[in-house]
Copies of this chain bind each other. A is one copy, B any other.
């Protein structure tokens, strides 16, 4: 879901951008007008996340999955080890991909506390002595588990922020690499953002594909190859929209309100349940379960009839999942809660 205002602007400009009589996707990525779009998007992202000049901000191809490979190819030397913290489906996938490129130590494994999904306290992690970096996924989209702390490690910290970037205030200086597939909080699929501390650059393996080489892309301002120009433009519109909303701190307050509304309803209603420990509940993706799962099909069809789409949980975990990213307004969550209440009244 993208912000409605962004979509309406993009639609208006679709065939006649900037009075060119043509679409932004049809002009050269090297034209001055496009470069202005590209540079402004980078600057707006830097402003929103308060990213210092110690970091490169790269706009790349290949989504989050591409970055699963790009990270070890760029910053894991041959024969070195990287630590991976597993909290769910996406951190596991990152681990599987990284294993192609070197030795990976599982520093912590998926964890339950009182039968609820949880994060293993950092004191119990088995970190390697000489890890090249420590990787984790601050928000697990499928499992609905979100870190409420930033790990304190003495190695470069690498975070897959695909599903939480720009949703809450973070201190970028605590990280070595932050990456994100664009399709949750930034823009359409096909774009990935990588924010890389510059002292980590210049060590890519010789057989790193150019499109994944952080140093090369920095040198060419993410244009060594033709970038995904339209996705980059849309990302720029989203960044502008976010600034207009008051920036990350403001949207974070809205996100907290949205999440509280939904979790409070779930907790106070014995028709539904969450299976994640309270402090690690995601503000972005809320998996929940009907107590009587035989009503799942009815729930999905009735919600769809109400215009509430895509509520089916990931096939690996079942149940339901509400995606309440930045672009989802509080009213959207209220509409969901209202429906859930009506459904409970009707079927309870």
Contact = CB atoms under 8 A, between A and B. Distances in A.
B2 A7 contact: no
Contacts of A22: 1, 309
B68 A210 contact: yes
A208 to B, nearest CB: 8
A8 B7 CA distance: 15
Interface string A216-229: 00000000111111
Contacts of A115: none
A230 B191 CA distance: 11
Contacts of A25: 2, 188-189
B7 A15 contact: yes
What DSSP secondary structure best describes chain A's contact surface?
loop
Nearest to A66: B211
A101 interface: yes
A230 B23 contact: no
Nearest to A181: B226
Nearest to A327: B26
Contact of A307 (B14, B21, B66): B21
Nearest to A20: B309
A27 B73 CA distance: 32
A11 interface: yes
A209 B66 contact: yes
A91 to B, nearest CB: 15
Given A1-B22, A7-B23, A207-B207, 11 more contacts: A2-B26, A11-B14, A27-B310, A29-B189, A65-B225, A66-B209, A100-B207, A100-B209, A190-B191, A228-B228, A230-B230
Interface of A: 1-2, 4, 7-8, 10-11, 14-15, 20-23, 25-29, 31, 61-66, 68-70, 73, 97, 100-101, 181, 183, 188-191, 206-212, 224-231, 307, 309-310
13 contacts: A4-B15, A11-B14, A25-B189, A64-B225, A65-B211, A69-B209, A69-B210, A100-B207, A190-B190, A190-B191, A190-B227, A190-B230, A209-B209
